[in-house]
Chain A
Amino acid sequence: MEVLLPSLARGLGIGSTYALLAVSFVVIYRATEVVNFAQPALMILGAYFTALFVITVGLPFPVGVLAAMVAMAAVGAITERIAMRPLVGQPVFSAAMVTVGAFIVLTIVANRLIGPDILTVGDPWGLDAVSIGGVQVFQVDIAKTVLSLGAIAAVGILLKRSRIGLAMRATSLDQETALAQGVNVGRMFSLAWALSAALAALAGMLIGTGAGGIEATTALVALKALPVIILGGIDSIQGAVIAGLVIGIAESLTRSYQPEYAPWLGANFDIIVPYLILIVSLMVRPYGLFGTPEVQRV
């Protein structure tokens, strides 16, 4: 028990961060049907901006995080306008490859800004732990869970209840019909990218909290959201949350127990657990737990 419960808490923390990243993929996928491979770069830039605003500029932590999210929303919207808008109507594969190109360009920008250092985001939680029912839980895990799930809930409410959310859902359902009803489809694309980049910035900040810190190579962590969206279903926010928690907990439990019970699997085996879940889930249920099966016509 003294291993299991802290391990579960860590899994919840990291899992909800994955869920947040996955939702940032889902938002763009629902608007444009493109899996955005540039998301890792947006995440790392978000973490950089948080560090810049909180440590260098000296803003209070919550204000700095919000400022970083706003800055990244602008970066996301600009990226969409320059790289993605010319590809509307082109095959999905071309658009996805363009996001790979955007990933390379934005990663260089992030590398240039961050350099060889390890950045800290100046979070107030550090390595402090609290005791809940006799179990030591790191504050940062609680913060990750609360902030991620809160942000996802906010996105869900935005999409379900607001006028803009209605327009975004209409766009993802049928672009031409939405256009005919007076929805500015182009603006919806920009908005989806802005929203997604802001979520990625928040996730980047959460990855950088605690003992971690942010290096230029941390960006690859964001790719773990891909197993999450495949397991949960590529167009489902609810699926992203559940799959994120499942994968986070599976990874955390592997980290706690695998070195003891299955050492032959090698060091750092927990890093590839999400990808193994990905392969199995694609074999068993290609459209995920909550995804919409694709209807194909010839």
Chain B
Amino acid sequence: MSRTPRTLRRGRPELYSDYAADQAIWNTPAKRWSTLVLLALALSLPWFLGRDLLGLATLVAVYAISGIGLNLVSGYAGQISLGHAVFMGIGAYTAALLGGSPQGDIRGFELDLLIWLPLAGLVPAFVGWLFAPIAARVRGLYLAILTLGLLFVGEHVFKEARWLTGGSGLGRKPADPVVLGFALYEERTILGTEVPAIGVFYLFALLLLVVLAVVARNVARTRQGRAFSAVRDRDIAAEVMGVPLLRTKRLAFTLSSFYAGIGGALLTIVFGFVTPERWNLLLSIDFLAVVLIGGAATISGPIIGAAFVVLMPRFIETFAGSLPGWFVSTAVGGGGLLNVFQLQRLLFGVMIVLFLVVEPRGLFGVWIRVRNYFKAWPFSY
């Protein structure tokens, strides 16, 4: 690590004498400590949260995995993709086919998680690798429209492949998360306390999130990651400097689809059931919101964004009761101006607009502002 003598470093947390120390993921003691504390906090959740909230926490971890994937292609490499839901769907169905059990006409091979989980990432990654040369021909909004086309074609294929997906409106059961005979979705006694099934699965999803987030953070600071940013900022300039455009975009799409596939496979297990209609435009927009609200071109950003996107509807649901009845009705078919679901979607749309207008760096940017205020204190103005 740093070769600066300890005596010099004391009281100067940002004194770096070599490039590696400056570029390290945890380059300040504060980052090291806060990451450890947050991780410990996240690990302890299954022991004191209820089943219901643990489900939400699992959803946050899964959304974060997929969100990091979308951030690699859209945030770092600047290729706006509305097709993220399709890659999630491919991952989910790969997992369901290999790890699920057959029901009637629907196929399933009941394989181990060690087989289906890697393939749930690799198969979408391969499709992303195939799709990238087409996507690399167009830029910006044209790419957004192209991926929108991919989304509709994908939805049609999912609806028609009944042996795989169960067909439109019917759906199928997801894969069984079993590692070498050890079920990950089963109530267990850990450290002398009963942990509900979803809690065990939460720990697994959290482990995957940590591993995948560290990998993504490392990719972002390699030569390839810097090539991503160069392509985003100005693709022609990047090409002139010797960054191969097709190879860079292809890597971005492949990696992003891998994350999407893993996220999709885990998502179906959290929901317990999956219909082909789930992988639609709204899901893709959800993930764009995860990236934009969290903070584009960061790794912590999508994790914060995922927490925001998953928890905000619950937050509104909880506090809708204390809003005036003419505004929000909590009863089904009530007479208020809006129902809870409509209020959730409405605030969601407003949030996307507000963040883009007021703080384009997202919640991560808000945190940076707060941090800089206190760093510069008492000279912060």
What is the CB-to-nearest-CB distance from A97 to chain B, in angstroms, rounded to a whole number? 6
A93 adjacent to B149 (CB under 8 Å): no
B342 x A112 contact (CB < 8 A): yes
**Which of B46-54, B97-105, B253-261, B351-359 binds A?**
B351-359
Residues on B with beta carbons closer than 8 Å to the beta carbon of A297: 236
Contact B349 A298, beta carbon cutoff 8 Å:
no
A278 near B349: Cβ-Cβ < 8 Å: no
Evaluate contact between B137 and A98: CB separation under 8 angstroms.
no
Is B41 close to A, CB under 8 A?
Answer: no
B145 beta carbon closer than 8 Å to chain A: yes
| Cβ-defined contact, B346 with A101, below 8 A | no
Distance in angstroms between the alpha carbons of A94 and B348 in the assembled complex? 16
Q: How far is the CB of A297 from chain B (nearest CB, A)?
A: 8
The CA-CA distance from A104 to B346 in the complex, in Å, is 7
Chain A residues with Cβ below 8 Å from B350 are 101, 105
Known: A92-B141, A227-B149. A98 touches B156 (CB 8 A): no
Complex Cα–Cα for A286 and B142 (A):
8
In angstroms, Cα B343 to Cα A111, docked, is 12
Cα A86 to Cα B357 in complex, Å, equals 7
Over the window 340-381 of chain B, the binary record of Cβ atoms lying under 8 Å from chain A Cβ atoms (1 yes, 0 no) is 001001101111110011001000000000000000000000
Is B153 in contact with chain A by the CB < 8 A criterion?
yes
Is B320 part of the contact surface with A, judged by Cβ < 8 Å? no
Identity of the chain B residue whose Cβ is nearest the Cβ of A99 in the assembled complex:
B353
Q: How far is the CA of A211 from the CA of B19 in the complex (A)?
A: 69
0/1 per residue, A220-252, Cβ < 8 Å to B? 100100110010000000000000000000000
A216 CB to closest chain B CB (Å) equals 11
Docked-complex contact B353 and A272, CB < 8 angstroms: no
Q: In the complex, are the beta carbons of A275 and B144 less than 8 A apart?
A: no
Q: Is the interface of B mostly helix, strand, loop or mixed?
A: helix
Interface flags, A99-134, vs B, CB<8A=1, else 0: 011111101100110000000000000000000000
Q: Which residues of B contact A275 (CB under 8 A)?
A: 148-150, 152-153
Contact across chains for A102 and B80 when beta carbons are under 8 A apart: no
Give which listed residue, B140, B150, B234, contacts A279 with CB less than 8 A. B150
Residue count of chain A within 8 Å CB distance of chain B: 43
Docked Cα-Cα span, A282 to B136, in Å, equals: 11
Which residues of A have CB within 8 Å of B234?
Answer: 298
Q: Is the CB of A101 within 8 A of B138?
A: no
CB distance from A264 to the nearest CB of B (A): 9
B356 touching A282, Cβ below 8 Å: no
CB-defined contacts of A97 to chain B, threshold 8 Å: 288, 292, 352, 356
Q: Does A271 contact B (CB under 8 A)?
A: yes
A269 within 8 A of B: yes
The digit string for A265-291, where 1 denotes a CB below 8 A from any CB of B, is 111110110011011001100100000
Please encode chain B, from 128 to 166, with 1 for each CB lying within 8 Å of some chain A CB and 0 for all others. 000000100110111011101110110010011000000
Confirm or deny: A96 has a beta carbon within 8 angstroms of a beta carbon on chain B: yes
Interface residue? A296 (CB, 8 A): yes
Are A98 and B353 touching (Cβ within 8 A)? yes
B240 within 8 A of A: yes
Measured between alpha carbons, how far is A272 from B285 in the docked complex, in Å?
A: 20
> In the complex the two chains form, is A100's CB within 8 Å of B352's CB?
yes
B285 nearest in chain A by CB position: A100
**Contact assessment for B144 and A278 in the assembled complex, using a CB-CB cutoff below 8 Å:** no
Please state if B138 and A286 are interface contacts (CB–CB under 8 Å): yes
B119 contacts chain A at the CB level, 8 A cutoff: no
Quick check: is A87 within 8 A (CB to CB) of the other chain? yes
- Complex Cα–Cα for A98 and B338 (A): 22
A262 to B57, CA, bound (A): 46
Selected contact of A278 from candidates B146, B156, B338, CB within 8 Å: B146
Of the candidates A100, A268, A298, which one forms a contact with B236 in the assembled complex, judged by CB atoms under 8 Å apart? A298
The reply to whether the CB of A35 lies closer than 8 angstroms to some CB of chain B is yes
**A10 → chain B, closest Cβ, in Å?**
21
A158 within 8 A of B: no
Assess whether A83 is interfacial by the CB under 8 Å rule: yes
Taking the complex as formed, is B237 at the interface, i.e. its CB lies under 8 A from any CB of chain A?
A: yes
Say whether B138 contacts A98, CB under 8 Å.
no
> What are 14 A-B contacts with C-beta separation under 8 Å?
A35-B141, A35-B144, A93-B80, A93-B140, A98-B356, A100-B285, A100-B288, A101-B353, A108-B338, A108-B346, A266-B159, A275-B148, A279-B150, A283-B137
- 10 closest Cβ pairs, A-B complex: A104-B349, A266-B160, A101-B353, A101-B352, A275-B149, A105-B349, A278-B149, A101-B349, A275-B152, A272-B156
**Chain B residues close to A by CB (< 8 Å):** 80, 134, 137-138, 140-142, 144-146, 148-150, 152-153, 156, 159-160, 234, 236-237, 240, 281, 285, 288, 292, 337-338, 342, 345-346, 348-353, 356-357, 360
